Structure 1
């Protein structure tokens, strides 16, 4: 039953991606309030967004007792409502206070956070992805973030906000970048990990001929090599010198087979790095996403011996949703596009099935809901 529920929900969601292409040229409507407020929107796009986002939102909102931290968050929520204090950051407390004032129960809290999280994710995907590649972009985001959204609730919301900070970094708008990161950090302080990236991200040049040279491509490889060496040293000697959390989680201790993430990611890293040179020569905008993939590698490598280091990858994994469609689009022949697309789809399906049903990460199997499913 669980397999059918997830399959049907994701199929409905992906069908909305094809409507986005159909409605891409629909007219805009504008809402005004004097000279102070104006917002423009595309009528049919709103329904497309909802069709894409509603299935995961409903699944998360109606779940009962599943998700690794379901009961932990329930306890934290009730403690905060009763005492007014919690272990969470200030804006996370504001969300809980707002929910308690308006709705008054934990299940509504889950629905509220799920709604905001996936509307942010879907909006980001629609704005950045080409309409032809939107289904695979959405599929990648679900693969990496759906299960986690049932578990690390506030951190995934923070990650959904961080998505937008990199756009401002590429535009060299440090004020909006900082505001976005601070908002995310006020929900989950781990979001501060992205702050240094502002200073290594190149400005996004909109010119089509803005391309990389060979030396700039070596920069990415240099970051990769240095990162791997750093991660190796830290994971090998961290426990010996008692760095915080190092060695806390092993293969059979709390957290499970944490090295699985790195093993699975290799199936994506190999083709992504293989096509890196051609993508960077095509446009320098891909530099950011390859840097994020490198940072994800570090997190997964450190997760071999460092507790919960893999959770820092939440802020970087969305890069695959840009790189993979770009690889498919830039394959030379139609035949190769088909082969590469099938490969990535199979890897992503394997990733979701293996982590969900075999390793049982995030506790989303078997699905249980408040309506008895």
Structure 2
């Protein structure tokens, strides 16, 4: 657990300048320096990790397989993974890179895209970075790399979601679909996330959740029959996951809805989208208690939670409550980091160098 505690603590060490003088939160130069420092640390921690997660070896074996396949074959024949991801493997190989090089490049892309949006949209960049590290997506990228990479690509196109520019947003969805096919689900959510969040919508979502929750296995049988044909009821991830995994998404949802009064959603389209995203982040994680694979869909909505929480903190005018919120987030963040990772498939962390005999 030391590695995870260290990397999370590092985000706060780098953030100390913001805590000393709040005006630095508006200083673009300092924000860039902070994000660059964290990017370097997080990319190294991601790119040079050892093979301790279940999918690491699978990804590495596929990387070796693609050495035997030409670019023409990748484009014209069926390959085990999405063609965009396979082509990325092949490009790294053409330039002489190995599997670790691929991981470093993917880390740069994911962190770069996420941090670019944090820089543009976050009220407190340091808090968004802290939340990003504890919110499971960063560590999930150690294992479900393609899913998280696809999520980062779509998140980077959020400008067009906010502007309701469907054609340009569609480009990001299509690119992401060539990394992970589940990205196609964001097509209808372009319209759904832009719906005005109010009591009527939230009740409709609740009713829809109950209906889907009770019939999820039947719905999944239909979906896997036509789209994800490689999955069956006996496949890995088709059973429910541990209930402790819903603590964070449900906790974020409750926090956002409890402080929703601070957000003038009728005048703030971005905040409206962020609130809706938090709801669907919890929605898909709760469904994951029945079918684990469905929880992965939540990663498309998760990044917006690291934007809405800092906005709520900023809009809280009561300094005592604001300070209390920050202390609780940091304290609970470290607690959740330990709770979710200790004795999990991610623990212990070790670098690739330590796994080489």
Q: Distance in 2 between matches of 1:372 and 1:337?
A: 43
Q: Distance in 1 between matches of 2:172 and 2:15?
A: 27
- Helix, strand or coil for the counterpart of 1:295? helix
1:101 aligns to what?
Answer: 94
1:198 aligns to what?
Answer: 190
Give 1:98 shift: 0.9
Asked if the contact 2:32/2:119 (under 8 Å) is kept, the reply is: no
Asked if the contact 1:248/1:306 (under 8 Å) is kept, the reply is: no
Asked if the contact 1:13/1:55 (under 8 Å) is kept, the reply is: no
Aligned residue pair count: 335
- Helix, strand or coil for the counterpart of 1:372? helix
More helix, by proportion: 2
Asked if the contact 1:66/1:150 (under 8 Å) is kept, the reply is: no
The answer to whether structure 1 residue 149 and structure 2 residue 134 are counterparts is no
Q: Distance in 2 between matches of 1:175 and 1:315?
A: 19
2:242 aligns to what?
Answer: 258
Q: Distance in 1 between matches of 2:157 and 2:58?
A: 29
Distance 1:238 1:6, change over 3 A: closer
Q: Distance in 2 between matches of 1:331 and 1:46?
A: 25
The answer to whether structure 1 residue 277 and structure 2 residue 275 are counterparts is no
Give 1:16 shift: 4.2
1:334 aligns to what?
Answer: 319
Asked if the contact 2:113/2:153 (under 8 Å) is kept, the reply is: yes
Q: Note the 1:1-373 alignment, pairs <5 A.
A: 2-3=1-2, 5-17=3-15, 47-84=33-70, 86-130=79-123, 133-144=124-135, 145-202=137-194, 219-239=197-217, 242-244=221-223, 248=233, 257-281=241-265, 283-284=267-268, 285-358=270-343, 360=344, 363-372=345-354
* TM-score, length basis structure 2: 0.83
Distance 1:247 1:261, change over 3 A: farther
Deviations 1:312-334 (A, max 9, x none): 00000112112211221222311
Name the Cα RMSD after superposition.
3.0
Distance 1:119 1:18, change over 3 A: farther
* TM-score, length basis structure 1: 0.79
Distance 1:261 1:25, change over 3 A: closer
Give 1:348 shift: 2.7
The one of the two structures with greater contact order (alpha-carbon pairs below 8 A, sep at least 6) is 2
- Helix, strand or coil for the counterpart of 1:83? coil
Give 1:49 shift: 3.5
- Helix, strand or coil for the counterpart of 2:164? coil
Distance 1:23 1:302, change over 3 A: closer
Gap runs ≥5 in structure 1: 27-41, 204-215
- Helix, strand or coil for the counterpart of 1:293? helix
Q: Distance in 2 between matches of 1:160 and 1:179?
A: 14
Asked if the contact 2:193/2:277 (under 8 Å) is kept, the reply is: no
Asked if the contact 1:235/1:306 (under 8 Å) is kept, the reply is: no
Q: Distance in 2 between matches of 1:333 and 1:340?
A: 11
Give 1:55 shift: 0.9
Give 1:262 shift: 2.2
Q: Distance in 2 between matches of 1:226 and 1:22?
A: 42
Q: Distance in 2 between matches of 1:249 and 1:323?
A: 38
Q: Distance in 2 between matches of 1:327 and 1:282?
A: 16
Give 1:225 shift: 2.4
